């Protein structure tokens, strides 16, 4: 099994390009839907990147849900 990871994709065009590139390299994929694009300042991004499991005020139920304890 192969996995394709992309990091710090700056915008939707780059996401489309990265998806196309992964398909060209024969990576199997799953369908995804972009519900919205969020722009963060450098400090906001740094705070987000320091703890990816932390609930964020800009990620809501419509975006895929908030973290919930099992």
pLDDT digits (tens, 9 = 90+) for 13-69: 998 898 888 888 887 777 777 777 888 899 988 888 888 888 888 777 776 655 554
Closest to 22 in 3D by CA, of 9, 38, 35, 36: 9
CA distances from 68 to 52, 53, 61, 64, 65 (A): 14, 11, 11, 12, 9
pLDDT at 4: 67
Residue with tokens 């369908």: 31
pLDDT at 70: 47
């Amino acid at each position: 099994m192969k996995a394709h990871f992309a990091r710090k994709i700056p915008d939707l065009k780059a996401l489309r390009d990265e998806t196309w590139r992964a398909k060209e390299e024969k990576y199997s994929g799953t369908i995804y839907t972009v519900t919205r694009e969020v722009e963060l300042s450098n400090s906001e991004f740094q705070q987000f990147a320091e703890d990816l499991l932390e609930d964020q005020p800009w990620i809501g139920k419509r975006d895929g849900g908030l973290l919930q304890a099992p």
